[in-house]
Structure 1
């Protein structure tokens, strides 16, 4: 492993996560009023409803697949009697459709911002950066999955997964990434970019949990009636 790859997989992850966590803390301390989705529903509702529904449900299942494949050690699957081939079939059968749904929803949301004039005008540079980062991460992940769809696909549970977990134990093993296919590496770098821009865009709303909304009283809107003299 050369020095550049050692930097990418041994040092860069800590730089990225430092920016990610530090940025979230700074943003929360300095810009709590900006910690919002900046909803544009009142400008256009139909496309937002379809695109947002597809994207969020798709991405939820995509993230669930990442948890199953990266955070859960392969020894757990071996203990349960789930072979690599069986896991691969399940992962593709569930993950590939979820990726299609998330991508389709994202395309609708991007098309909405580009074609609806009122939304395009109110879209900030950070919004475009966030959209680009999500498109890059989802797109490269979808491509990596597409190249890995055959029954003898690359088993990332024995390379990327232990490498990722080793980051949090501060015993990182960059050598595990040496034989990882290029499309998976591109996806990882795209994900790094997403983490870097995350704290400085509307994506921070993903860490907002409006639990109080469950017990909050309804907001009642009344139509204003003009009085006639």
Structure 2
């Protein structure tokens, strides 16, 4: 393995996991009174009332779909009689719905934060960085769902590359070769996702409210 491969597919994931866990612990221990999402509900409620639930529920559904898709081996779904074609369409449609709800909510939140001066003043640089990562993740996710899955003549099977690497991280034997052979857009999506999880404990998204 090259140095860059070790950095991207071994060090970055474990560093992100450690930062996610330690970051939450550190923030709770040192900033208990600030252990909130920095709620701006009192500053504006109309847009927040529908945008926040849409974003959070959509994001949770998308994250759940990612975990299930990455966690369940292809051999298991085939063993229970679920063909690759059926699995691909089911996951793509469910992901598209979750992504659409998340996008609608996210656009509403960004609009609210950019047009309301009082709300905008509460935005930190960490928040801006988090929003940027989310924007890229959503964009790549939509592209992969539609262009690389639903509409492609030869859909990409991430369960034979990215999934193998993702699961291997948790039994401490990273399958770098598997992810190195993955499509570039999936690789970029994975790296940016680790960056998002590392930054999350220090943003207002630390608490879903």
Same fold (TM over 0.5): yes
Matches within 5 A, 1:149-228: 149=150, 150=152, 152-206=154-208
Partner Cα distance (2:180, 2:111) in 1: 38
C-alpha displacement of 1:16: 1.6
* Equivalent pair of 1:143/1:183 in contact (CA under 8 Å): no
After the TM superposition, which residues 6-17 of structure 1 pair with which residues of structure 2 at under 5 Å, given as runs?
Answer: 6-17=6-17
Per-residue CA shift, 1:23-54, capped at 9, x if unaligned? Answer: 11111111111110221111111111121122
What is the TM-score of this pair, normalised by structure 2?
Answer: 0.91
Q: Does the Cα contact within 8 Å between 2:37 and 2:203 map onto a contact in 1?
A: no
Alignment of 1:120-159 (within 5 A): 120-148=120-148, 149=150, 150=152, 152-159=154-161
Structure 1 segments unaligned to the other structure (5+ residues): 209-229
Distance 1:124 1:7, change over 3 A: closer
Partner of 1:116: 116
Unaligned runs of 5+ in 2: none
Find the aligned partners of 1:152 and 1:35 in 2 and give their Cα distance: 47
Higher alpha-carbon deviation: 147-156 or 37-46? 147-156
SS in 1 for 2:207: helix
What's the TM-score, normalizing by structure 1? 0.83
Query: Is this contact kept in 2: 1:35–1:202, CA < 8 A?
Result: no
The structure with more helix, counted as a fraction of residues: 2
When the two chains are superposed, the root-mean-square deviation of aligned CA atoms in Å is: 1.8
Number of residue pairs matched by the alignment: 207
Equivalence map 1:3-152=2 (5 Å): 3-148=3-148, 149=150, 150=152, 152=154
State the distance in 2 between where 1:64 and 1:14 align: 20
CA shift, 1:2, in A, is 4.0
Equivalent residue of 2:121, what SS?
helix
Q: Using CA pairs below 8 Å that are at least 6 residues apart, which structure has the higher relative contact order?
A: 2
Which structure 1 residue ranges, 4+ long, deviate > 4 Å from structure 2?
none
